[in-house]
Amino acid sequence: MFTRILVAIDGSESAKKAFEESIYLAQKCSSKLDLVHVVSCELGGDSATTFELIDELKTKAEKMLDEYKTLAAKNNVSIEIMVIQGDPAQVIIELAKTKKHDLIIMGTRGKSAFQELLIGSVSQKVMHHASCPVMVIR
């Protein structure tokens, strides 16, 4: 059970909590973790400035996920990191399906400023459409 876990990381405190829980679960179940950050394609356009900005966001995300990788290694948890461009919920749902994850772990909230919402739109969409169980950490 829970041998391959997908953890969605957006740089928020909520996702950090989700990561911490995933480490705990991975230790208990000897799971392999895949960490993903999606660089949102809301940044439309095809100007050089857009491409530069996307590159910058990808580099920043890789650095952030590298730090998580180090933390996982310290806890003897096997981990892979991925930075993908696209619609966050769609990428998470597709990835879990193609890579046959048996659990997705994510935060209730993300980096958005709309704090009055109980749950963010990415978590909500993944919960509705994922092909495997979803654990939403608060």
Distance CA 102, CA 18 (A): 16
Task: Between 32 and 129, name the residue whose CB sits nearer to Mg ion.
Answer: 129
The partner in contact with residue 90, picked from Mg ion, ligand ATP, none with C-beta cut-offs of 5 to 8 angstroms by kind, is none
Could you say whether residue 43 binds Mg ion (CB under 5 A)? no
* Cβ neighbours of 55 (radius 10 Å): 11
Distance CA 56, CA 64 (A): 12
Distance CA 125, CA 13 (A): 20
**Token pair belonging to 43:** 């940044």
Could you say whether residue 111 binds ligand ATP (CB under 6 A)? yes
Beta-bridge partners for 103: 5
Residues 103-122 interacting with Mg ion (rule: CB under 5 A): 110, 112
Task: Between 43 and 76, name the residue whose CB sits nearer to ligand ATP.
Answer: 43
Where does this chain bind ligand ATP (CB under 6 A)? 8-10, 12, 14-15, 18, 36-38, 40, 88, 106-107, 109-112, 114, 120-123
Where does this chain bind Mg ion (CB under 5 A)? 110, 112
